[in-house]
């Protein structure tokens, strides 16, 4: 079995291995969701490069083929639990539909759905099959959505802010569930989040996005220990951690992506920017265990 | 010196669940807090625990069903209309979403001018507005802009400027940074801390984000289903929490922000939305330490400086 599951999008070069969790972290409007959607070709804009899953290039598949691919090989979970479920359809029927659409009989679908609800930790699963989404709490809804996403044993799940709408206690629960799923089933995950802390709970590799570009990619632990890109550094010192450690805010805000700054997109906010940064866009370059795009990375 | 005190505040809402039926939601029940001058009082708790409602009650934006609010020694439920009006001006609120609180059709200057008109400011409007704008870190070019031309952080600065123009003593900050990116959140948090020092402000800082609250607060209160379950100095509550619910909250925060974990077992199982326990402790169904007493008897908030409502804490 090919262990490398996914690779490369448009100058954004990353690999997710089997059972691994890769985090895409960036502030609002940095293009995380767009990237997530383009990975499964749900994004209208053109994507160049290649997206390889188990050696198959998604960009070369026909519409029909990609439709089959979604759900069975790769699936996506969105932030807002309420919008992802049909409000007028019983939870059980929605789950069963995933199976019947793929050729399972009604009774097979029922058994499988029941099993799934148990897998994602929903108590009294039989009863829950008969309830409507609004009768479930936010955390329960998110579990049902996760159940639907993993129903057909995909190789990769893309989770776009799966816990941002939830209380911190429920968030911990859902992260725990995702962690268990990847450990027990070798499921690979791409976690999209604006929250470094959430990324750290679940992931072993991380890519930091700024204004539509990846600026640093590598093992989470080493990036958190010694961030190399000026933006990653700035982000780390913006996080209110334990008590009363002083914050060093980064001035300004994320630029509008319809008109990003020339040269390095971070240069207007970067304390290390030099002339070259305003003129030339830096490329991702390999430095030790990671990729960094900064003209001055060796000097600072 | 005490600036504001809420005493035994309670508020129940009728929540319509269908055309014919409604249920009573005890949003806040018998909560007392006292906030000293220049203090930052943080309020944490899960969604629906009653934080915002308590904030509105403290401001007297909403009348409590029972209990009273005493602001600078004046009992607002007994005060004359003028006194209440005057007190209301000295108390301001800033919300999570500046888009909802700023009029999209109004230039920033007019929005801010309104605040000065409201408080019957006698001096030069332009001068005053410009100086407050500088205080919140905005340039005077902002004055001619509309809200949609500003970033989220800038809008929140405008909302702060508007609050400050009324020269308040007390500001309720209801999730003031929850809609912002971390980089902008850090800017606003530091700004809030600076402003407090410069203008001798007192804050009630409401947030579901524990690390943010621990960064800005002197004291914190923890709410659960309408009740205050723990109250104390920020450092004590976050480092040595007494209530099992506080322990659960802190343990659920990603380790990057708070490293303390108070449950070795899989504490996440406790996060199930517990139904209310009608007679005893509200946390009963989720609590790993619960005993029979907890089911039948509601614990009182008890203690000296560090208070907790738990039979076994
Ligand atoms: N590489 C890119 N180049 C130019 N525009 C982009 C790029 N990626 C995304 N955009 C545009 O930027 C906007 C924001 O992108 P997106 O919603 O993906 O951000 P996000 O990081 O998911 O933000 P949020 O945290 O708010 O969900 C969208 O309008 C999108 O079309
Ligand atoms: N105007 C209202 N009418 C009916 N019910 C209300 C009203 N305001 C609040 N509630 C209910 O009171 C309870 C407490 O709500 P409140 O908004 O104070 O919680 P909160 O702690 O601020 O939550 P969040 O973190 O989601 O803002 C909730 O159950 C809510 O549904
Ligand atoms: S390339 Fe220049 S502007 Fe960009 S991050 Fe590096 S030093 Fe800063
Ligand atoms: Mg997004
Ligand atoms: Mg609220």
CA A191–ligand 4 middle distance (angstroms) = 11
DSSP β-ladder status, B66-71 and B2-16: antiparallel
What is the band of B285 on the pLDDT scale with cuts at 50, 70, 90? confident
- The atom number, within ligand 2, closest to the CA of B56 reads 18
pLDDT of A149 reads 92
Whether A128 shows a pLDDT value over 50: the answer reads: yes
Whether A7 shows a pLDDT value over 50: the answer reads: no
Using a pLDDT cut of 90, give the percent of chain A over it.
51
What is the band of A46 on the pLDDT scale with cuts at 50, 70, 90? low
pLDDT of B12 reads 95
DSSP β-ladder status, A290-292 and A213-219: antiparallel
Q: Report whether B229 contacts B246 (CB < 8 A).
A: yes
What is the band of A5 on the pLDDT scale with cuts at 50, 70, 90? low
Separation of alpha carbons B77 and B79, rounded Å? 6
Q: What average pLDDT score do residues B273-283 get?
A: 72
**Which candidate, A32, A39, A45, A34, places its Cα nearest to that of A8?**
A39
Residue A206: is it exposed, middle or buried by C-beta count within 10 angstroms (0-12/13-18/19+)?
A: buried
**Residue having the nearest C-alpha atom to atom 1 of ligand 3:** A294
Q: Output b/e per residue, A41-50; b: 16+ Cβ within 10 A.
A: beeeeebeee
Pairs of CB atoms within 8 A across A/B = 121
Cβ contacts of A169 on chain B, cutoff 8 Å: 46, 248-249, 252, 268, 270-271
What is the band of A82 on the pLDDT scale with cuts at 50, 70, 90? confident
Q: How high is the mean pLDDT of chain A?
A: 88
**ipTM score:** 0.89
pLDDT of A215 reads 95
Q: Kindly state whether A122 is in contact with chain B, defined as any CB-CB distance less than 8 angstroms.
A: no
Whether B77 shows a pLDDT value over 50: the answer reads: yes
How is A173-239 classified by DSSP, letter by letter?
HHHHHHHHHHHHH--EEEEEES-HHHHHHH-SEEEEEETTEEEEEEEHHHHHHS--SHHHHHHHTTS
Separation of alpha carbons B134 and B143, rounded Å? 11
Q: Report whether A108 contacts A143 (CB < 8 A).
A: no
Tell me, rounded to whole angstroms, the distance of Cα B77 from its chain centroid: 21
CA B252–ligand 2 middle distance (angstroms) = 22
The total number of residues shown for chain A amounts to 300
Nearest to A253 among B153, B209, B266 (CB): B153
Q: Is the pLDDT higher at B186 or at B98?
A: B186
What is the band of A8 on the pLDDT scale with cuts at 50, 70, 90? very low
Domain boundaries defined on chain B: 2-90+168-308
Per DSSP, the three-state class of B40 is strand
Separation of alpha carbons A41 and A34, rounded Å? 10
Whether A1 shows a pLDDT value over 50: the answer reads: no
What is the band of B279 on the pLDDT scale with cuts at 50, 70, 90? confident
What is the band of B21 on the pLDDT scale with cuts at 50, 70, 90? confident
Residue whose entry in the numeric block shows the structure tokens 């630029």 = A255
Whether A12 shows a pLDDT value over 80: the answer reads: no
Asked if A239 lies within 8 A of B152 by C-beta distance, the reply is: no
Q: What average pLDDT score do residues B45-69 get?
A: 95
Residue whose entry in the numeric block shows the structure tokens 């974990």 = B261
pLDDT of B270 reads 53
**Which candidate, B51, B46, B14, places its Cα nearest to that of B31?**
B51
Q: Report whether B97 contacts B176 (CB < 8 A).
A: no
Asked if B190 lies within 8 A of A243 by C-beta distance, the reply is: no
Chain B residue with Cα closest to A196: B256
Backbone phi, psi, residue B83, to 5°: -65, -40
Per DSSP, the three-state class of A45 is coil
pLDDT tens-digit profile of B249-262?
A: 999 999 999 888 88
pLDDT of A3 reads 47
Chain B residue with Cα closest to A232: B183
Indicate whether residue B25 lines ligand 2 (CB < 6 A).
yes
Indicate whether residue A194 lines ligand 1 (CB < 6 A).
yes
Separation of alpha carbons B147 and A188, rounded Å? 42
DSSP β-ladder status, B22-36 and B2-16: antiparallel
Whether A263 shows a pLDDT value over 90: the answer reads: yes
Interface residue of A81, A162, A172, A200 to substitute, partner B, most B CBs within 10 Å:
A172
Asked if A238 lies within 8 A of B183 by C-beta distance, the reply is: yes
Separation of alpha carbons A238 and A196, rounded Å? 11
pLDDT of B267 reads 58
d(CA B181, nearest CA chain A) in Å? 6
Listed range (A38-42, A204-208, A295-299, B180-184) with the worst mean pLDDT: A38-42
**Token pair belonging to B255:** 């380790």
Considering only CA atoms, give the Rg of chain B.
21
Whether B171 shows a pLDDT value over 80: the answer reads: yes
Question: Strands (DSSP E) along chain B, which ranges?
Answer: 2-16, 22-36, 40-44, 66-71, 74-75, 91-94, 170-174, 202-206, 219-224, 227-233, 307-308
Indicate whether residue A132 lines ligand 3 (CB < 6 A).
no
Asked if A168 lies within 8 A of B251 by C-beta distance, the reply is: no
Q: How high is the mean pLDDT of chain B?
A: 92
Query: What does the angle CA B301 – CA B303 – CA B307 come to, to the nearest 5 degrees?
Result: 60
- The atom number, within ligand 3, closest to the CA of A271 reads 8
What class is the B2-90+168-308 domain? alpha beta
Contacts of A103 (CB under 8 A, 6+ apart): none
Indicate whether residue A294 lines ligand 3 (CB < 6 A).
yes
Asked if A224 lies within 8 A of B268 by C-beta distance, the reply is: no
Whether B134 shows a pLDDT value over 60: the answer reads: yes
Whether A2 shows a pLDDT value over 50: the answer reads: no
Q: Is the pLDDT higher at B104 or at B21?
A: B104
Cβ contacts of A167 on chain B, cutoff 8 Å: 46-47, 208, 271
Supply the angle between the helices B152-165 and B108-118 in degrees, to the nearest 10. Answer: 20
Q: Is the pLDDT higher at A107 or at A40?
A: A107
- The atom number, within ligand 2, closest to the CA of B46 reads 25
Q: What average pLDDT score do residues A151-180 get?
A: 91
Neighbours of B122 (CB within 10 A): 8
């Amino acid at each position: 079995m090919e262990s490398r599951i996914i690779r490369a999008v448009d100058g954004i070069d990353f690999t997710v291995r089997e059972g691994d969790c890769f985090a895409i972290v960036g502030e609002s409007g940095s293009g995380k969701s767009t990237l997530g959607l383009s990975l499964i070709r749900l994004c209208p804009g053109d994507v160049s490069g290649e997206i390889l899953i188990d050696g198959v290039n998604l960009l070369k598949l026909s519409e029909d083929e990609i439709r089959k691919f979604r759900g069975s090989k790769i699936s996506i979970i969105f932030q807002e639990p309420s919008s992802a479920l049909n409000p007028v359809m019983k939870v059980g029927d929605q789950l069963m539909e995933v199976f019947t659409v793929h050729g399972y009989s009604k009774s097979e679908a029922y058994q499988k759905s029941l099993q799934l609800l148990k897998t994602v930790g929903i108590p009294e699963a039989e009863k829950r099959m008969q309830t409507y989404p609004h009768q479930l709490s936010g955390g329960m809804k998110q579990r049902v959505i996760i159940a639907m996403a993993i129903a057909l044993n995909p190789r990769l799940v893309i989770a776009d802010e799966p816990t941002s709408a939830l209380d911190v206690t429920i968030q911990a629960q859902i992260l725990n569930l995702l962690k268990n799923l990847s450990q027990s089933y070798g499921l690979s995950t791409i976690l999209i989040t604006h929250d470094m802390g959430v990324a750290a709970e679940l992931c072993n590799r991380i890519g930091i996005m700024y204004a539509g570009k990846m600026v640093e990619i590598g093992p989470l632990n080493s990036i958190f220990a010694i961030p190399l890109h000026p933006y990653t550094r700035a982000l780390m010192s913006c996080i209110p951690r334990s008590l009363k450690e002083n914050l060093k805010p980064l001035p300004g805000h994320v630029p509008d992506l319809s008109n990003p700054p020339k040269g390095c997109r971070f240069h207007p906010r970067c304390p290390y920017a030099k002339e070259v940064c305003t003129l030339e866009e830096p490329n991702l370059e390999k430095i030790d265990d990671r990729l960094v795009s900064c003209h001055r990375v060796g000097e600072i | 010196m005490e600036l504001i005190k809420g005493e035994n505040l309670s508020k129940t809402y009728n929540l319509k669940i269908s055309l014919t039926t409604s249920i009573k939601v005890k949003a806040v029940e018998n909560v007392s807090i006292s906030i000293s001058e220049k203090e930052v009082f943080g309020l944490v708790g899960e969604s629906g625990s009653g934080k915002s409602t308590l904030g509105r009650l403290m401001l007297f934006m909403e009348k409590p069903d029972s209990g009273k609010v005493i602001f600078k020694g004046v009992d607002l439920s007994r005060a004359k209309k003028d006194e209440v009006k005057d007190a209301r001006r000295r108390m301001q609120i800033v919300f999570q979403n500046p888009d909802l609180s700023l009029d999209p059709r109004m230039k920033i200057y007019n929005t801010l001018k309104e605040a000065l008109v409201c408080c019957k400011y006698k001096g030069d409007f332009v001068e005053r507005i410009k100086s407050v704008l500088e205080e919140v870190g905005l340039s005077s070019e902002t004055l001619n802009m509309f809200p949609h031309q500003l970033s989220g952080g800038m809008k929140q600065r405008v909302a702060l400027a508007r609050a400050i123009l009324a020269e308040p003593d007390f500001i309720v900050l209801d999730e003031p940074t929850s809609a912002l990116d971390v980089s902008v959140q850090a800017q606003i948090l530091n700004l809030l801390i600076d402003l407090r020092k410069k203008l001798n402000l007192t804050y009630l800082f409401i947030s579901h984000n524990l690390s943010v609250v621990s960064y800005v607060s002197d004291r914190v209160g923890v709410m659960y289903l309408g009740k205050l379950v723990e109250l104390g100095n920020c450092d004590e509550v976050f480092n040595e929490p007494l209530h099992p619910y506080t322990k659960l909250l802190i343990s659920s925060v990603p380790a990057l922000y708070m490293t303390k974990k108070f449950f070795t077992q899989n504490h996440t199982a406790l996060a199930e939305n517990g139904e209310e326990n009608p007679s005893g402790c509200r946390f009963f169904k989720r609590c790993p330490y619960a005993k029979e007493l907890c089911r039948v008897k509601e614990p009182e908030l008890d203690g000296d400086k560090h208070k907790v409502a738990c039979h076994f804490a």
